[in-house]
Every structure is written in structure tokens, then in C-alpha cells.
Structure 1
Amino acid sequence: MVEDVEVWKQVFQELMQEVKPWHTWTLTLDKGLLPNVLKPGRAQYQQWTFARFQCSSCSRSWASAQVQVFFHMHWSKEESKGQVKMRVFAQRCQKCSQPPFEVPQFTQENISRILNNLVLRILKKCYREGFKPVEEIPTIKDFSLEGPHDSDNCEACLQGFCAGPPQVTNLLASRSSRANTSYQEESWAVSMH
């Protein structure tokens, strides 16, 4: 994820410059960010998406459609500056004993789709633009998944933050034929203290 952070930042900057060229926005990675624990004046956007993982111990790779990505955002109208903090939860290999948590690997296309969804939420929550419900741009699942979500090796589950979107479990269990989309859900929390 360390090398990917620069890609996330660049794509985010490009998208924000398209919609708000006179405003300054930053995106930073924050591994200590907690879901629904917001500082005053911040909003949260949360998305479950598809990504791949690779174990640094045994080189095994796996994919998950329940990768949790969330953002806390803050807009200062007085300064024309916005800040987004991002956290991506890791998973660990189920085959190794005492494996480290591995960060997900996203395709460039899915990074763009996730950040497009984020920018739409920023426009709605921070700028009060687009009052109708926002349509999600689905992320791409580039190969089929096998088995249920491994909650014993999911960092978000182990910390009590991953209930996962209900439709993911149901759709994967029924082996949905929608092979090109992953299933995601969002949650919003706003603190205005």
C-alpha cells in the first residue's frame, strides 16, 4: 500500500481539480483512523470493495470482495481547503502460522472508481451539491472468489469494525453471475460539534 499511496493521492488530486479547481484538497493515509469515531466537523465515507492480497511469508495470494476502505473528510470554507484521511484494513494468510497482516493491492481502475465515489460524496456532504441519491460506481472483480469471508484473518473483523455489507455474503453464497462487479455499501456518519 505504501507505493500505492502516491497513486491514490495523484488520482484524488486529478479528480478534485476537475470539479473544484480553485480549492486545495489533500489525501493522507492514517492507520489509526477508526470507523464512526469522528472529530467535530468531519464526515465519513465507507466502502467495501474488491482487492487482492499476497502473503509476504509464503507468497500465497488471495482475493476478497470485503476489503474495507474508509475516509474521514473535512472542508474549511474559510480557507478553501479540504482534508481527507484514509484507512484500508488488511488481511492475513490463513495458511501460515502467525502471519503478518498484508495490505490489499488494488487495480488502477478500482482506485479510480473508489475515488470517484469519494469525490461525489465530498460534493454532496462538503459542498451541498447533488441532493439526489448518489449512484455508486461499482468496482471491478477481476476473477472469481471462493468461499466465505475469512473473519478470523480480517483486521477489521478482529477489531470489531467489519460486519461487512449483508448483500456481499448473500450474493457470494448464491454464486451470483455478475462476474465483473464487486459489491459495496457505504455508510455515512457526520459529526458537527
Structure 2
Amino acid sequence: MSLQEWARLFEQRTGRLHGHNWTITFDDSIVPDKPAAEWFQYIRGAFAKFSCSSCDRTWGSSRVLVVFQFHYERGAKRGTVRARRFRQECKTCEETEMEEPLFDSENIGVMLEKLVERIRFRCYKEKINLKRSRPLDWTEGPHESDLCEACKRGFCRQTNS
């Protein structure tokens, strides 16, 4: 799904949360577990598909790391979310680029709903029961660390199976 679709789905879920505007942008420079001062973080694993730009091979992965960092500016009555979706390489190509994950709208919706719960909890101090849940379409199987961008950068939360 395109970045514009993410923004549209995010806007549907936030509307004018407590009368405030929230925006989402994508930023590949985000470092997990190192949000800026006064920023919060939410990390989610989710199912996504990939397509190799070299050989057209496609594959799915239930262990795609998505990092959200968010900040609420009380005086301006607006909030900002920055997101990073970690990529994967094709296992059949020798010289390959990191490919962008393609999430379906249902998985994006679940991630954004959980993100909005955390925004409501952290920024608006609402009492919310934050439960951990598995990604939609969760499948067990090996995690190929040598193809995972998050593993290569030392951020992955998965272990080899």
C-alpha cells in the first residue's frame, strides 16, 4: 500500500483526536529505542509481502519490523508520528536491493489502531488496556537474519528459528 494510503488510514483513525491534528510521515533514519526527547515509541511486527525488483520473486514475511515514534505538541494542539518500515533482500539474487514491504490494508489498520491506543495512553493519559498481540497472518518459520535489514542494523527483535 502506498504511503498516501497509510496517511489516509491514519487520518481516519485519528480524525481530530481530542480536537487536535495528527500527521504521519515516513523516515528511514529512525533508530529504534532512541526516540528524541519528549517522543514516545511503539514497535510492531507485522505480516507483509515483498517483490524483488530484479527477478520479480515474491515472498511473505510475518516478521516485518515497523517502528513508530510520536510526539504531541500541547501548545500547538497537534501531533506528529514518524514511522520506519524495515526492508528485506531477495534470497535468490546475488546483487539485490533492500525491498520495501507491502502491507495489506487490514494489517495497516491493526497497526494504526494499536498506535492510536498508545497515543491516547501516552499523550492524553487515557486509561487503556494495552494488550500485546501477534501480527495478523502470523506464521511460524525460519527468520532469515542475513536478508533482514533490521537484523543487519542490530534492531531486529526476532531470533533465528
TM-score by length of 2: 0.92
Unaligned segments of structure 2, at least 5 residues: none
Q: 2:10 aligns to what?
A: 12
Larger relative contact order (C-alpha < 8 A, sep ≥ 6)?
1
TM-fit CA distance, 1:98: 1.3
Structure 2 Cα separation of the partners of residues 52 and 77 of structure 1: 38
Which residues in structure 2 correspond to 1:120-135 (within 5 Å)?
A: 120-131=117-128, 133-135=129-131
On the 8 A contact 1:46/1:70 being kept in 2, the answer is: yes
On the 8 A contact 1:151/1:157 being kept in 2, the answer is: yes
Runs of 4+ aligned residues of structure 1 deviating over 2 Å after TM superposition are 135-140
Identity across matched positions, percent = 35
Structure 1 Cα separation of the partners of residues 132 and 5 of structure 2: 21
User: What's the RMSD between the two structures over aligned residues?
Assistant: 1.9
Equivalent of 2:29, from 27, 32, 51? 32
> Per-residue CA shift, 1:31-51, capped at 9, x if unaligned?
111101121100000001111
Unaligned segments of structure 1, at least 5 residues: 174-193
> Per-residue CA shift, 1:25-68, capped at 9, x if unaligned?
11000011110112110000000111111111111111111100
**1:159 equivalenced with 2:146 (yes/no):** no
**1:80 equivalenced with 2:77 (yes/no):** yes
TM-fit CA distance, 1:136: 4.6
Structure 1 Cα separation of the partners of residues 110 and 157 of structure 2: 23
AA aligned to 1:135 is: K
Structure 1 Cα separation of the partners of residues 135 and 75 of structure 2: 35
> Per-residue CA shift, 1:62-116, capped at 9, x if unaligned?
1111100011100011111100000000000011001110001111111111100
On the 8 A contact 2:45/2:135 being kept in 1, the answer is: no
**Cα distance change on mapping 1:148 and 1:136 into 2, 3 Å:** same
Which residues in structure 2 correspond to 1:28-177 (within 5 Å)?
A: 28-131=25-128, 133-136=129-132, 138-141=134-137, 147-164=141-158
**How many pairs are equivalent?**
161
TM-score by length of 1: 0.78
